[in-house]
A and B are shown apart, each in its own frame.
Chain A
Amino acid sequence: MFLFLTRRLLIAVPTILLISIFVFALQKLLPGDPLLVLAGEERDPQVLELLREKYRLNDPLVVQYFTWVTNALQGDLGISLRTNQPVSELILQKLPVTLQLAAMSMLFALTIGVPAGILSAYKKGSLTDYIANVIALSGLSIPNFWLGIMLILLVSVKWQLLPASGYVPLSEDFGQSLRTMLMPSFVLGTALAATMMRHTRSAMLSVLSADYVHTARAKGLRERRVVLKHAFRNALTPIVTLTALLFGELVAGAVLTEQIFTIPGFGKLVVDAVFNRDYAVVQGIVLVTAVGFIFMNLLADAMYFILNPRLRGL
């Protein structure tokens, strides 16, 4: 187990290195000079030169890169060109918000998608299967922003059950925090539930016809146990993989939903930073997201380890 995880960790190192180079290069390749935004309307050449000196933009690229990486490794991701706040501070402010949203969305996706997938695989070709597939397809087809707006109109405006927008930190008021996040995470979660359902369904279909499922039935076990223990256990691997991937996507890609529900999360930070050419912030976010993604996949690897006895022998 130790060897297996160490190997995975060692693979992660060059991956992160590659990402850092890519992120750094991206900033240099993108059109538009952030200093022009910073220098204001006049674009005084002297001011520009001063700024270049201040942000060490006259150094050779390699030196710039190494300075950035060395600082990043120490937790210093630079300073926002726009607000003059440290980037790491900005990220630490927004990250918990997005993580909470992502976790709650994932919970919706799993609790709806996985049982629906199991049921529709087990009742393949039946009305239940058909209905589940129609709902899943609608889940995938309905745009998040539309569902979000409809929910706000219905649940918040008409029935006044849940707050329409905003964010309350978990530490401040646990219940209220969950309440404000309920709708946005439902909106995000249902879309993912559809993907989850389809993958669970196909994974279950392939294991339900396996020989060991016959063996389980021949033992006289109840169908519930045959399906949920013997079959489902072997269908878990693709579900774990998908969960890790989708979670990473949730952290990076909840922009639209965060916008609709005015949640001060990661997505909003990215969009603002891109529009303002606040490249230090963009770089920081991309790097943190990428590392988070890799971490999620490492977690998935560790899960495979628990799921697949064969790996334990390595």
Chain B
Amino acid sequence: MSSDQRVPIEGPTRVSPAAILRLDDFTLRFRGQTVATVNGISLSVSAGEILCVVGESGCGKSVTAMSIMGLLPKGASDVLSGDLSFMGKSYDLRRENLPSHLRGNQIAMIFQEPMTSLNPAFSVGDQIAESVLQHQGGTRAEALRRARDLLVKVGISAPDQRLKEFPYQLSGGMRQRVMIAIALANDPKLLIADEPTTALDVTIQAQILNLIDDLRRDTGMGTMMITHDLGVVAEIADSVAVMYGGEVVEYGPVREIFANPQHPYTIGLMSAMPRLDRPGGRLAIVPGSVPAIENMPSGCRFRTRCAFANETCTERPLPMAAGSGHRVACHFAPLEEHVMVQA
């Protein structure tokens, strides 16, 4: 493969007619800062698809999710560019947010901390029913019946009793199930899950992941899952967006990313993952740490930590196609070829 075949591409490559959510060239800068925290992100989620967004903490994953939901506090940040299209309708994020009637209705979100995400003062039934009443109306009794069905759907036993209970009476895994029930209240087309299993025990993690996996199969909802755990990605993702320093550095189908990672950061992440099939030796690590946003280097944001970086990296790499539905933002992609040439 010669470098002539590398064609710059724009936007997500996997846009199918079934795309539920599409985010194009989203750039956001917090007030008082000179560097954009999120820089030109594009991604898409189709019906029934699970997109995992991976990256270290502070790489802009959650900010992106909150922006899609329209939940970032007003006046703290400016959107410099970005188009959001949801269910065929487009919104220019510089001027508008997703309409609030879609929030908690067509797009739902669950959070990292199930222990604190439910309101301690209200019963489980109240909190689920509230979401039903907000978007579907009807009577409280109807909403509570729906809440009961939802509890059954997310695998909670003794739903009648649980409806009356308060969050402190539930375990972490149980609370996350309740959060999912709230999210499902209005049959959303898209679920945004911000590290939904990070705070849970490993066995409970697997249960919650399985639940999300089952639900997208049953309901056909798309899921955007934020995580920093490649184990979660391997288990559940259809496609992966690897983020570093507020940019998507690599994007593609999960098999492709795991089998043929192209970005040095992705490779670093993979080799930092403990493996049972290759025991012994120390885990490889990505050297250094993510610079503070104000100290982000120009050009490729990863270059200060990259083993391959040279002067070309002071220019911002454009996303290049690196296989079917696979794109990577690195001057050296495809890596094998370039590294061999260098060597």
Min C-beta distance of A204 to chain B, whole Å: 14
A211 touches B111 (CB 8 A): yes
B111 touches A219 (CB 8 A): no
A310 contacts across to B, CB distance below 8 A: 120, 166, 168
Q: Which residue of B lies closest to A125 (CB)?
A: B75
For residues 301 through 339 of chain B, which have their beta carbon under 8 Å from a beta carbon of chain A?
none
Interface string of A214-227 (1 = CB under 8 A from B): 11111111100000
For residues 203 through 255 of chain A, which have their beta carbon under 8 Å from a beta carbon of chain B?
210-212, 214-222, 230, 233-234
Bound-state CA distance A220–B130 (Å) is 10
A216 touches B71 (CB 8 A): no
B111 touches A214 (CB 8 A): yes
Would you call A313 an interface residue if the criterion is a C-beta within 8 Å of the partner chain's C-beta atoms?
A: yes
B108 touches A218 (CB 8 A): yes
* Stretch from B6-14, B95-103, B249-257 at the A interface: B95-103
Would you call A309 an interface residue if the criterion is a C-beta within 8 Å of the partner chain's C-beta atoms?
A: yes
By size class, the interface of chain B is 20 to 34
Q: A212-B119, A214-B111, A310-B168 are in contact. Are A219 and B103 (CB under 8 A)?
A: yes
A218 touches B71 (CB 8 A): yes
B103 touches A218 (CB 8 A): yes
B103 contacts across to A, CB distance below 8 A: 217-220
Tally of chain A residues near chain B (CB < 8 A)? 20
A216 contacts across to B, CB distance below 8 A: 119
A23 contacts across to B, CB distance below 8 A: none
A313 contacts across to B, CB distance below 8 A: 168-169
Q: Which residue of A lies closest to B131 (CB)?
A: A219
B119 touches A219 (CB 8 A): no
A217 contacts across to B, CB distance below 8 A: 71, 103
Q: Which of A220, A222, A230, A309 contacts B168 (CB 8 A)?
A: A309
For residues 279 through 314 of chain A, which have their beta carbon under 8 Å from a beta carbon of chain B?
307-310, 313
Would you call B29 an interface residue if the criterion is a C-beta within 8 Å of the partner chain's C-beta atoms?
A: no
Bound-state CA distance A222–B121 (Å) is 19
Q: A210-B116, A230-B119, A234-B119 are in contact. Are A215 and B134 (CB under 8 A)?
A: no
A309 contacts across to B, CB distance below 8 A: 120-121, 123, 166, 168
The 25 listed contacts between A and B (C-beta, < 8 Å) are A210-B116, A211-B111, A211-B116, A212-B116, A212-B117, A214-B71, A214-B117, A215-B111, A218-B103, A218-B104, A218-B109, A219-B103, A219-B104, A219-B182, A220-B100, A220-B102, A220-B105, A220-B135, A221-B104, A221-B130, A230-B119, A233-B119, A233-B121, A234-B119, A313-B169
The 6 A-B residue pairs with the shortest CB-CB distance, nearest first, are A220-B104, A219-B104, A220-B103, A309-B166, A212-B119, A211-B116
